[in-house]
Structure 1
């Protein structure tokens, strides 16, 4: 991976990768802990050249699935193949798969440099690569400091550096923006999209719907260990959320009659505004003018990934808060 940066934003300048990376194939994957089913017959494929978001409520089985991808947990059934092989079959695996599952899994007495150095030596990665990834993630100035003094965001950057160390074609990130400040969030977003643009296979688990909407091109969504969706972001939003035109008027009954007569489906919101489906804001504005109706607001409310996710996974939430303000 190139380490040259854009001086204006500090973002990595990526090289072009001529061939696409390997696929991750998950087939009928299951994991049981006694009578508890954590993962239940998952089947999906993660393809190169795009960021694939991995979504699900807390307890859905995302982390367990990613651990099984890396042979950290043994499946109760099914299998995972990376380029046709199990992770444990890969020689020098850090050169093939980079992963961030737990940024805190670092000896606190080691420096950032020596943590990465022993990882590099274990996979015959050149020593110079350690300095390259420290510069890439913005930790070069603290490379010799002990990890116990790192902030949450600095620890996260070190975990990302470890994932990038072997310049692998496959990358797995579990909650990569955890602890990062706004600049760091922007940086990791560009990093992941840039890695995918190089032809790498990038699989990212996150609870931040706003970030997934900006970063991922494809989604795998699970609930209670089962596959709920495997589709593009745009198709997922279109299938599970709705866009509508919001209308506020002092003449709601007349407006409703005019909309219904025009074949536009309309309903009343809790605050008294009307919500019209299947029409453009301009069309409704012209309709109101033609009927001499007064309107205070005509605005398009676009569907969001968060709304689509909540609608699809609402019945699979394991831990749900009860009550409102106190």
Structure 2
């Protein structure tokens, strides 16, 4: 199967540096998540990968070739970047037929992908009347049309209900299990934690991390014990050797196991109302690692 390489990829819009000397490789056989705050350069990067924007510097190679040199692009890369970029007057079937005919793909494949994404029953409806979720499914059908080796999705679960989100998660993991290259951008950390095997994280156009999901979580965050007690002021000095921080009605304790905290409290006759081990999550690790790359930040309420 086929890899995608971004090599020193750079994009300027006037004085704005949207993508800054970005290099990474997307490997087949796994789902690679593409993460970053708003304005990080994710969509610009994906557009350059598909030849929709010209890089100011650097290049992208698809199986060793620029996208423009692919003989049958739709058979190599299937992409969903903007589900709304469809002629609203066409039916779902006719939209896919137009794409198929321009790429030498038979009508049977159109029917097959409509069945795959669950749109067969609305194949004759005009796309302009589709809900956001139905539009996403149509965009995914278009991406699958050429039975490509590479799939690229930008926010594919937008507008999908819980059943639809589970479906696209299963679909992406199934495509990767077949040996295909799957690259997906999303802001939903809970979904990425369940779907992605590998992560590429960028901020302000620069690479922050290129690593496995579990390694990213382990490297960027740590577990702590959440403690609540009516006698917090008396308990805190007894927890020697720990890192303590107050957060409203509770305290975070790093460096002591919950069992030790419980024993200390019991020995001092201090009641505990909560003693919870909080394990690191992808969301916590992501927020920690990208905190200096956020373009628009509001006030954070401690958990």
Normalising TM by the smaller chain, what interval? over 0.9
Q: 1:66 pairs with 27, 46, 52, which one?
A: 46
Is the contact made by 2:80 and 2:154 (CA closer than 8 Å) also made in structure 1? Answer: yes
Q: Which runs of at least 4 in structure 1 moved beyond 4 Å after TM superposition?
A: 321-324
2:276 is matched with 299
**2:293 is the counterpart of 1:313:** no
Deviation at 1:59, TM superposition (A): 1.1
Looking at structure 2, the residues matched to 139 and 279 of structure 1 have their Cα atoms a distance apart, in angstroms, of 54
- Mapped pair 1:125 → 2:105: yes
- Stretches of structure 1 that go unaligned for 5 or more consecutive residues are 1-20
- Inter-partner Cα distance in structure 2 for 1:107 and 1:178: 19
Aligned to 2:254: 277
Query: How far off its partner does 1:228 sit?
Result: 1.0
Partner of 2:63: 83
Q: How many corresponding residue pairs? A: 301
Where do 1:133-212 residues align within 5 Å? Answer: 133-212=113-192
- Counterparts of 1:234 and 1:189, CA distance in 2: 18
Cα deviation, 1:219-273, whole Å, max 9, x if unaligned, reads 111111111111111222222222101112233344333321xx3x131323242
Determine if the alignment matches structure 1 residue 227 to structure 2 residue 204. no
- Indicate if the aligned counterparts of 2:217 and 2:285 stay in contact, CA closer than 8 A: yes
Q: Following TM superposition, by how much is the alpha carbon of 1:306 offset from its aligned partner in structure 2, in angstroms?
A: 1.8
SS at match of 2:31: strand
Secondary structure of 1:67's partner? helix
Deviation, 1:320, is 3.3
Match runs of 1:241-260 below 5 Å: 241-260=221-240
SS of residue in 2 equivalent to 1:269: strand
1:114 aligns with 2:91: no
CA displacement 1:96-121 (0-9 Å, x = unmatched): 11000111111111111111111111
Q: CA deviation at 1:309?
A: 1.7
Q: Secondary structure at the match of 2:43?
A: helix
- Structure 1 residue 177, shift from structure 2 partner: 0.5
Instruction: Give the match for residue 4 of structure 1.
Output: none
CA distance in 1, matches of 2:17, 2:245: 42
Work out the CA distance in 1 between the residues paired with 2:214 and 2:260: 24
Structure 1 residues 270 and 320, CA, compared in 2 at 3 Å: closer, same or farther?
closer
Secondary structure in structure 1 of the residue aligned to 2:292:
helix
Output the CA distance in 2 between the equivalents of 1:132 and 1:165.
9
State the 1:296 CA deviation. 1.7
Root-mean-square deviation (Å) = 1.8
Contact 1:49/1:198 (8 A) holds in 2: yes
Q: Distance in 2 between matches of 1:270 and 1:83?
A: 50
- Name the CA shift for 1:104/1:257 in 2 (closer, same or farther; >3 Å): same
Alpha-carbon offset, residue 48 of structure 1: 1.2
